[in-house]
């Protein structure tokens, strides 16, 4: 009876939602972006596997999978699933989609265009060119969504998702409608209009004016204004974005000061992360102790300590290393000042960088912040190792716990910046073992081991803070459960009261 | 201006094109960062491998020496092909023509609005110097010129969209969507134009020919509108035309605040991603717009003040 009343009440409210998203990244067609998939996921298409908010892998279009050996994974597809154009989901569709993604340069693991082979209509074999036991954890990324053969995901995506694509206007909006034939839990909304509003303040104003129902990435300084309104509410996702300092441990003169582990540890111990979290992010973040989100490491996250604020210990380490305070406050050794070049992701809050500089200065460590105008210049400086400290932001968008260790600190990673941050042979051996470990729990344990080496012991990576994703919505919006990885957000359970 | 003069002006486009394109190419090449790397990073969301970057650089022709790349681009541009955007994969000309109408619509609305406000206000202030109209015009000019456009945009949204629910906050749609962004864009322009109109008219009103006209018994309305304003409009028109070019080229902030899908945001993204063909195309396009605007101003001068044409004809002969 209650269910009936609820259903009737729901039917009386128009089930349409207007979402204000950030800037439109989709017009970047040369990136052969899958429209409505990444970074904004409007749920038109789905990958073989999905990632839960606690970073575990669950079945999606594949119901089960197993490793066959010889770099090959077998995936068994869900029966009875149809694309929005009526075509059935088959092994051929998976082969077509993955081949297109490989061709477009979308894959972040070692594969060729013929990576997927149809075994039978509902079974595919996925073969990588190198051993990759983390493949199912990587395939949760929406970039590996499956599209109907013959469709063009750049302009009119035809997937199997809970919502069907209706319309896209570059820089303006994407509109989707309910897929009544969805194989899984039916969406509760009839339509969603995703409007691209690049300016965060304008998004808030649009919400205050009642022009949109939900906004993504609410600026922290405007939380109070939204909370003061009885018709609005704030929703937070747990940590999905991490800020950390990468210390150039193998730089050449003049960026060789952090080759001394004692100085690196002193930098790490001089930082007061609680103050940063409180003063800069208004407690809408948490002190980070791991390289990535703690949830992905499960029970092994407890093995990592990170760094507490210990100025006396930092002082001792620097004094022992011969760095003496001078009258100007900045330490020096043999006439050379302890002055570090700092670069920061241009999207980083400037106040955070300035507070870090101030905290380091208290320890007698001088920093020169080279402000960079955009990501391209930031990447160029980082790749060249033309800095001592690199304040970087990272998102965890797949379920692979070794994603960041293997990307940045693993000497076999073919990225140009790795030579400045490589932790060493012991670290590489652990990552190798982790990449080759079949049980996910073993990979988590090894990932935690690798992070302990890079962070707690070598202080090449210094975790700073994990930021919450913050959303604001009209009080008529219910059922919205934010995913810490924004690109894995599901809109199925959302409805209007 | 004679037909020869117009042709000469068109011919002057060529060195302007060459100059701005070479400058933009040089600046784009000197800027740190790599288009291939940015492109790959956007695809997967993670830093690419060195090998992938090298392959992509080769694929995009970015591994050729800078002068070769420039000459290749120039050769294609002369054939009317501005190249393919690295970001969108579409011909640059398509991207520009697809997004320019939105910016043109906004800039034209701002221009008209600015003229409608600034000319009467400036004229009124000059005619009634020291009056409340004059004080009001000067206050408007100071506030309008000193207020950053993002701030005036937010204030207008707060008042008219959030407070009064009279107008939409953002996006492009009907006339209602155009009002707040065009007022925001027009504000600085109108403020400067008001000051200029007032100053130019005041200067003319102090001239001997105005005194003579008054002595002849002409009405003040005729003296101001038919005689003084006609001459005062020459610098005003120059200013309005060149500022229109700035409105077109500099609408990026207003477009961002109002989520207006114009060319400004597109070109800012292109700069961030080192999309050289798109940047080149935009610079060339805007250079042409500026030259054509100047040509239009020159032609308008003749209509306003025939002495300008006579002087030019004498020089030409």
| pLDDT tens-digit readout, A253-289 | 999 999 999 999 999 999 999 999 999 999 999 999 9
Q: Give the pLDDT mean for B25-32.
A: 78
Question: Which residue out of A198, A209, A390 would a mutagenesis test of the B interface target, given it has the greatest number of B Cβ atoms within 10 Å?
Answer: A209
Same domain, B181 and B116: yes
Helix (H) or strand (E) holding A180: none
> For position B210, which CATH number holds?
1.10.3720.10
SS (H, E, C) chain B: CCHHHHHHHHHCHHHHHHHHHHHHHHHHHHCCCCHHHHHHHHHHCCCCCHHHHHHHHHHHCCCCCHHHHHHHHHHHHHCCCCCECCCCCCEHHHHHHHHHHHHHHHHHHHHHHHHHHHHHHHHHHHHCCCCHHHHHHHHHHHHHHHCCHHHHHHHHHHHHHHHCCCCCCCCCCCHHHHHHHHHHHHHHHHHHHHHHHHHHHHHHHCCHHHHHHHHCCCCHHHHHHHHHHHHHHHHHHHHHHHHHHHHHHCCHHHHHHCCCCCHHHHHHHHHHCCCHHHHHHHHHHHHHHHHHHHHHHHHHHHHHCHHHHHHHHHHHC
pLDDT of residue A354: 97
Same domain, B50 and B158: no
Same domain, B68 and B109: no
Inter-chain contact A31–B39, Cβ cutoff 8 Å?
A: yes
**What residues form DSSP beta bridges with A215?**
A20, A472
Q: Is A230 on the interface with B (CB under 8 A)?
A: no
Q: How many residues does chain B have?
A: 317
pLDDT of residue A335: 94
CA dihedral (A309, A311, A315, A316) positive or negative: negative
Would you say the CATH fold of A46-150 matches that of A15-44+161-231+475-497? no
Q: In chain B, how many domains are there?
A: 2
Inter-chain contact A170–B98, Cβ cutoff 8 Å?
A: yes
Inter-chain contact A202–B259, Cβ cutoff 8 Å?
A: yes
Q: Give the pLDDT mean for A323-333.
A: 94
Q: Is A279 helix (H, G, I), strand (E, B) or coil?
A: helix
Q: A378 burial class (0-12, 13-18, 19+ CB within 10 angstroms)?
A: buried
Q: Rounded to the nearest 5°, which phi and psi values hold at B89?
A: 75, 0
**What residues form DSSP beta bridges with B201?**
none
* Alpha-carbon distances of B39 from A15, A187, A254, A402, B94, rounded to whole Å: 38, 34, 31, 24, 20
Show residues of chain A in contact with B269, CB under 8 Å: 23, 28
Q: Is A105 on the interface with B (CB under 8 A)?
A: yes
Same domain, B249 and B295: yes
CA distance A398 to A483: 12
Q: Rounded to the nearest 5°, which phi and psi values hold at B98?
A: -70, -35
Q: Is A254 on the interface with B (CB under 8 A)?
A: no
Same domain, B122 and B62: no
Name the pLDDT band for B309 (thresholds 50, 70, 90).
low
CA-nearest of A198, A161, A186 to A176 is: A161
Q: Give the pLDDT mean for A470-490.
A: 96
Residue B282 resides in a domain: no
> Which chain A residue is nearest to residue B253, measuring alpha carbons?
A199
Residues 6+ apart with CB under 8 A from B4: B316
Which tokens in the block code for residue A40?
A: 């904004």
pLDDT of residue A453: 97
Q: Is B170 on the interface with A (CB under 8 A)?
A: yes
Show residues of chain B in contact with A25, CB under 8 Å: 42
Chain B from 272 to 291: CB within 8 A of any A CB: 272-274
Q: Is B169 on the interface with A (CB under 8 A)?
A: yes
Q: Is B256 on the interface with A (CB under 8 A)?
A: yes
Helix (H) or strand (E) holding A190: none
Q: Is B208 on the interface with A (CB under 8 A)?
A: no
Nearest to B87 among A28, A38, A407 (CB): A28
Show residues of chain B in contact with A487, CB under 8 Å: 45
Q: Report whether A81 contacts A89 (CB < 8 A).
A: yes
Same domain, B257 and B205: yes
Q: Is B253 on the interface with A (CB under 8 A)?
A: no
Q: Is A367 helix (H, G, I), strand (E, B) or coil?
A: strand
Show residues of chain A in contact with B85, CB under 8 Å: 30
CA distance B271 to B274: 5
Is 70 exceeded by the pLDDT of residue A32?
A: no
Is 50 exceeded by the pLDDT of residue A31?
A: no
Closest CA of chain A from B28, distance in Å: 12
CA distance A448 to A431: 10
Which tokens in the block code for residue B75?
A: 């050769």
Q: How many residues does chain A have?
A: 497
pLDDT of residue A25: 77
pLDDT of residue B248: 87
Is 80 exceeded by the pLDDT of residue B131?
A: yes
pLDDT of residue A35: 85
Question: Which residue out of A26, A37, A205 would a mutagenesis test of the B interface target, given it has the greatest number of B Cβ atoms within 10 Å?
Answer: A205
CA-nearest of B145, B305, B173 to B234 is: B305
pLDDT of residue B30: 78
CA-nearest of A80, A84, A82, A81 to A165 is: A84
Show residues of chain A in contact with B99, CB under 8 Å: 170-171
CA distance B32 to B28: 8
> Which chain B residue is nearest to residue A380, measuring alpha carbons?
B33
Task: Quote the domain boundaries for residue B129.
Answer: 105-275+289-316
Q: Report whether A171 contacts A196 (CB < 8 A).
A: yes
Same domain, B155 and B245: yes
Residue B91 resides in a domain: no
Residue position matching structure tokens 């919502």: A163
**How many Cβ atoms from other residues are within 10 Å of residue A180's Cβ?**
10
Q: Report whether B114 contacts B186 (CB < 8 A).
A: yes
Helix (H) or strand (E) holding A472: strand A461-474
> Which chain B residue is nearest to residue A138, measuring alpha carbons?
B44
pLDDT of residue A30: 43
Architecture in CATH of A239-468: Roll (3.10)
**How many Cβ atoms from other residues are within 10 Å of residue A377's Cβ?**
19
Question: Which residue out of B171, B274, B278 would a mutagenesis test of the A interface target, given it has the greatest number of A Cβ atoms within 10 Å?
Answer: B171
Same domain, B67 and B124: no
> Which chain A residue is nearest to residue B162, measuring alpha carbons?
A209
Tens digit of each residue's pLDDT (9 = 90 or more) over B133-142 = 999 999 999 9
Same domain, B217 and B140: yes
pLDDT of residue B136: 93
Which tokens in the block code for residue A259?
A: 């080759």
User: What residue segments make up the domains of chain A, in order of their start?
Assistant: 15-44+161-231+475-497, 46-150, 239-468
Show residues of chain B in contact with A173, CB under 8 Å: 171
Inter-chain contact B259–A172, Cβ cutoff 8 Å?
A: yes
Which tokens in the block code for residue A144?
A: 């590996």
Q: Report whether A259 contacts A249 (CB < 8 A).
A: yes
> Which chain A residue is nearest to residue B42, measuring alpha carbons?
A31
CA distance B69 to B60: 11
Question: Which residue out of A104, A105, A343 would a mutagenesis test of the B interface target, given it has the greatest number of B Cβ atoms within 10 Å?
Answer: A105
Buried b (16+ CB within 10 A) or exposed e, B96-123: bebbbebbbbbbebbbebbbebbbebbb
Q: Is B177 on the interface with A (CB under 8 A)?
A: no
Inter-chain contact B172–A172, Cβ cutoff 8 Å?
A: yes
CA distance B196 to B177: 30
Tens digit of each residue's pLDDT (9 = 90 or more) over A171-182 = 899 999 999 999
Is 70 exceeded by the pLDDT of residue A3?
A: no
pLDDT of residue B77: 83
Show residues of chain A in contact with B52, CB under 8 Å: 105
Quick one: CA torsion of A167, A168, A174, A179, rounded to 10 degrees?
30
Show residues of chain B in contact with A138, CB under 8 Å: none
CA distance A481 to A286: 20
Same domain, B143 and B225: yes
CA distance B16 to A184: 61
As a whole number, the mean pLDDT across chain B is 86
Q: Rounded to the nearest 5°, which phi and psi values hold at B76?
A: -65, -40
Is 90 exceeded by the pLDDT of residue B2?
A: no
Inter-chain contact A415–B37, Cβ cutoff 8 Å?
A: no
pLDDT of residue A62: 98
Q: Which of B59, B78, B97 is the last residue of a domain?
A: B78
Q: Rounded to the nearest 5°, which phi and psi values hold at A332?
A: -150, 160
Residue B131 resides in a domain: yes
Show residues of chain B in contact with A195, CB under 8 Å: 170-171, 259
CATH topology for A46-150?
Answer: Dipeptide-binding Protein; domain 1 (3.90.76)
Tell me if ipTM is over 0.95.
Answer: no
Residue B224 resides in a domain: yes
CA distance A205 to A212: 9
The rounded Cα A198 to chain-centroid distance in angstroms is 19
Residues 6+ apart with CB under 8 A from A417: A382, A383, A385, A408, B47
Closest CA of chain B from A172, distance in Å: 6
CA distance A278 to A262: 28
Nearest to B170 among A39, A197, A415 (CB): A197
CA distance A15 to A9: 11
Same domain, B61 and B169: no
Inter-chain contact B274–A416, Cβ cutoff 8 Å?
A: no
Show residues of chain B in contact with A414, CB under 8 Å: 49-51
* Alpha-carbon distances of A298 from A164, A207, A290, A442, rounded to whole Å: 35, 37, 12, 11
Name the pLDDT band for B32 (thresholds 50, 70, 90).
confident
Inter-chain contact B33–A379, Cβ cutoff 8 Å?
A: yes
Residue B161 resides in a domain: yes
The rounded Cα B130 to chain-centroid distance in angstroms is 33
Tens digit of each residue's pLDDT (9 = 90 or more) over A390-414 = 999 999 999 999 999 999 999 998 8
CA distance B205 to A432: 85
Tens digit of each residue's pLDDT (9 = 90 or more) over B279-300 = 888 888 888 888 788 778 877 7
Architecture in CATH of A15-44+161-231+475-497: 3-Layer(aba) Sandwich (3.40)
CA-nearest of B154, B127, B281 to B219 is: B127
Same domain, B264 and B123: yes
Inter-chain contact B43–A209, Cβ cutoff 8 Å?
A: no
- Report the Cα–Cα distance between both ends of chain A, in Å, rounded: 18
Show residues of chain B in contact with A206, CB under 8 Å: 161, 169-170
CA-nearest of A259, A363, A260, A258 to A309 is: A363
Which DSSP symbol is given to A82?
B
Q: Is B34 on the interface with A (CB under 8 A)?
A: yes
Taking CB atoms and an 8 Å cut-off, how many pairs form between chains A and B? 153
Please calculate the CA angle A453-A457-A458 and round it to the nearest 5 degrees. 85
């Amino acid at each position: 009876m209650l269910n009936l009343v609820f259903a009737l009440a729901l039917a009386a409210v128009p089930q349409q939602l207007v979402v204000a998203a950030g800037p439109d990244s989709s017009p970047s067609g040369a990136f052969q972006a899958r429209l409505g998939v990444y970074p904004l996921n409007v749920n038109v298409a789905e990958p073989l596997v999905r990632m839960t908010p606690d970073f575990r892998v669950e079945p999606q279009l594949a119901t089960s999978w197993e490793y066959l050996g010889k770099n090959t994974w077998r995936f068994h597809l869900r029966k009875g699933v149809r694309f929005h154009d009526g075509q059935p989901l088959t092994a051929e569709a998976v082969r077509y989609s993955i081949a297109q993604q490989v061709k477009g340069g979308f894959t972040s693991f070692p594969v060729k265009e013929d990576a997927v082979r149809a075994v039978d209509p509902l079974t595919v074999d996925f073969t990588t060119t190198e051993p990759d036991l983390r493949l199912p954890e990587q395939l949760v990324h929406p970039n590996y969504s499956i599209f109907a053969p013959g469709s063009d995901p750049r302009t009119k995506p035809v997937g199997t998702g809970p919502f069907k694509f209706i319309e896209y206007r570059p820089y303006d909006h994407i509109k989707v409608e309910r897929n009544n034939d969805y194989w899984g839990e039916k969406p509760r909304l009839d339509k969603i209009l995703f409007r691209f509003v690049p300016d965060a303040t304008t998004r808030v104003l649009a919400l205050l004016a009642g022009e949109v129902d939900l906004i993504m990435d609410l600026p922290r300084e405007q939380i109070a204004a939204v909370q003061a309104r009885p018709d609005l509410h704030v929703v937070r996702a747990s940590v999905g974005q991490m800020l950390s300092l990468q210390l150039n441990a193998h730089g050449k003169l003049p960026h060789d000061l952090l080759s001394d582990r004692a100085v690196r540890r002193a930098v790490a111990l001089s930082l007061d992360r609680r103050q940063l979290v409180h003063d800069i992010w208004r407690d809408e973040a948490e002190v980070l102790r791991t390289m990535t989100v703690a949830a992905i490491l499960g029970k092994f996250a407890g093995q990592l300590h990170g760094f507490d604020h210990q100025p006396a210990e930092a002082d001792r380490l620097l004094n022992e290393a011969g760095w003496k305070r001078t009258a100007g406050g900045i330490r020096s050794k043999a006439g050379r000042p302890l002055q570090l070049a700092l670069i920061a992701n241009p999207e980083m809050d400037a106040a955070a960088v300035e507070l870090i500089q101030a905290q380091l200065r208290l320890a007698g460590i001088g920093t020169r912040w080279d402000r960079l105008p955009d990501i391209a210049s930031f990447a160029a400086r980082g790749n060249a190792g033309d800095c001592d400290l690199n304040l970087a932001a990272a998102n965890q968008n797949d379920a692979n716990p070794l994603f960041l260790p293997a990307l940045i600190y693993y000497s076999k990673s073919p990225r140009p910046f790795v030579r400045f941050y490589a932790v060493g042979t012991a670290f590489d051996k652990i990552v190798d073992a982790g990449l080759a470990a079949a049980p996910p729990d073993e990979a988590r344990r090894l990932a935690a081991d690798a992070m302990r080496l890079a962070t707690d012991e070598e202080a090449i990576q210094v975790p700073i803070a994990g930021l919450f994703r913050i959303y604001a919505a009209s009080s008529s919006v219910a059922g919205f459960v934010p995913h810490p990885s924004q690109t894995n957000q599901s809109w199925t359970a959302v409805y209007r009261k | 201006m004679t037909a020869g003069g117009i042709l000469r002006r068109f011919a002057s486009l060529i060195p302007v094109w060459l100059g701005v394109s070479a400058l933009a190419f040089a600046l784009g090449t000197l800027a740190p960062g790599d288009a291939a790397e940015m492109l790959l990073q956007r695809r997967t969301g993670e830093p690419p491998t060195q090998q992938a970057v090298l392959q992509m650089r080769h694929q995009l022709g970015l591994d050729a020496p800078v002068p070769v790349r420039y000459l290749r681009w120039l050769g294609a541009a002369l054939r009317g092909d501005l190249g393919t955007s690295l970001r969108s994969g579409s011909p640059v000309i398509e991207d520009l023509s697809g997004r320019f109408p939105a910016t043109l619509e906004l800039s034209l609305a701002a221009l008209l609005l600015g003229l409608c406000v600034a000319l009467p206000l400036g004229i009124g202030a000059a005619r009634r110097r020291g009056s409340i109209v004059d004080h009001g015009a000067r206050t408007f000019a100071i506030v309008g010129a000193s207020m950053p456009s993002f701030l005036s945009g937010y204030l207008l949204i707060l008042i008219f969209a959030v407070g009064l629910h009279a107008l939409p906050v953002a996006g492009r749609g009907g006339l209602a969507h155009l009002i707040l962004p065009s007022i925001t864009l027009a504000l600085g322009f109108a403020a400067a134009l008001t000051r200029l109109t007032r100053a130019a008219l005041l200067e003319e009103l102090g001239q001997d020919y105005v005194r003579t006209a008054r002595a002849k018994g002409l009405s003040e309305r005729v003296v101001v509108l038919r005689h003084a304003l006609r001459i005062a409009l020459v610098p005003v028109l120059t200013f309005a035309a060149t500022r229109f070019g700035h409105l077109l080229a500099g609408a990026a902030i207003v477009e961002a605040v109002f989520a207006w899908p114009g060319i400004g945001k597109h070109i800012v993204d292109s700069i961030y991603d080192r999309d050289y063909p798109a940047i080149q195309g935009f610079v060339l396009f805007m250079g042409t717009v500026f030259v054509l605007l100047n040509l239009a101003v020159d032609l308008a001068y003749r209509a306003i003040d025939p002495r300008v044409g006579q002087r030019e004809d004498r020089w030409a002969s």
